[in-house]
Amino acid sequence: MAAGDTISYNCTYTPKSASVDFGFIAPNGLFYSIKCTSGSVNESIEVNQTGQYTLAIRNNASYTVTVTGTVKY
């Protein structure tokens, strides 16, 4: 991806009470994310450097979470 591009998440997850981070791992190895606690996310994140990115979804709950939706980049 190039600096200024965006990654858009439009996802839902169950159970809705879980805390889930939607984001990416940047070329510098850092994890950038949007924290969600409502069962859904419909947001975009702009990347600030050119390079290879890894999409990531982190489950912060101590139980299984099921995620469905789309990611556009």
The pTM for the full model equals 0.91
**Helix/strand/coil for 16:** coil
Identify the pLDDT of residue 70: 97
Identify the pLDDT of residue 61: 95
Identify the pLDDT of residue 62: 96
- The CA distances from residue 42 to 22, 23, 37, 68, 69, in Å, are 10, 12, 13, 12, 10
Identify the pLDDT of residue 13: 98
Identify the pLDDT of residue 9: 97
Residues of the chain under the 50 pLDDT cut: none
